[in-house]
Amino acid sequence: MATTCLNCGTLLIDKYCPHCGQKATVERISGHHVLEEVVHFFTHIEHGFLSTTGLLITKPGLLNKNYLDGKRKSYHKPISFLLIWITIYLLVYYLVNRLTHYENLNTETAFSNDPVVTAMITKYRSLIEILILPVTCLIGWLIIGRPKLNYFEVLNTGFYGFSFLFILLSALFIIAFIFGINFKTNSFDNFFVIAFICWNFYAGYDLYKRYRVSYLIPRLLISMVAGSVVYIFLTKQIAKLFIEWHF
């Protein structure tokens, strides 16, 4: 058992911190920990949602490093955080889509899918992202995360990372609605992809520099390229399956 609280630094005299209430013993992120969070989401109301959102946007590496190091009481748990932002995104998308009647102007290019596939991806994005998340995190762990972090710790950072994806999408849909911008275009999709890639690079660098990972930038670039290729491929294939299954 630690002698001081990993969350706030208070001297420990019992199984729980007398100042913030966090457990004295904090285990590494594992499969059991991930399952426990899923159960926790449906049985508890978590605090710190807004502060976690702000820190994720501005200092994602600090948020993830603190959480992995045991400072967890201050932050919203990553799985429930992701599920809440998915819910917000679905609500925003539903309302914006119902209140607007834009024509689908997406066209198939070297960098975009045909309109039918794009519409399917947009409609079921949350489910598709959840299915792809473990694979992209595995790539990140193999190329850059190990041996500093185990796979489930990288997966934990992925929950926060994909949360930002839905934060960004929600914000863009609201902006598009306010300013009368057609969000069913290649330009809108390309802007979203570029913005997310830029933030993702910043988040990865901000995290792994804190672990003093060697050859950080080359490994980060390789990881992002490999992850993007797999992500694009899997996204398209899953969308096509949904079309075949008449979702």
* Tens digits of residue pLDDT in 147-195: 999 999 999 999 999 999 999 999 999 999 999 999 999 999 999 999 9
**Residue 8 within a domain:** no
* pLDDT on residue 1: 53
- Nearby residues of 44 by Cβ (< 8 Å), 6 or more positions away: 80
Which 8-state DSSP code applies to residue 34?
Answer: H
Asked if the structure places residue 16 within a domain, the reply is no
Evaluate whether residue 4 is within a structural domain. Answer: no
The total of structural domains in the chain comes to 1
Residue 62 domain-assigned (yes or no): yes
| Residues in the chain, pLDDT under 70 | 1-2, 40-47, 110-111
pLDDT given at position 111: 64
Q: Residue 41's pLDDT is what?
A: 63
Sign of the CA dihedral running 144, 150, 155, 160: negative
Q: What is the pLDDT of residue 45?
A: 54
For position 42, what pLDDT does the model report?
Answer: 56
Q: What is the pLDDT of residue 110?
A: 62
| Residue 177 included in any domain | yes
Q: Which residues contact 171 (CB under 8 A, 6 or more apart)?
A: none
State the pLDDT at residue 27: 81
The model carries a pTM of 0.83
81 within some domain: yes
Amino acid making up residue 66:
N
| Residue span of the structural domain in which 111 resides | 31-244
C-alpha separations of 11 from 65, 67, 78, 202 in Å: 22, 19, 27, 35
In a domain, 217, yes or no: yes
116: tokens are 């039918």
User: Would 1 be classed as within a structural domain?
Assistant: no
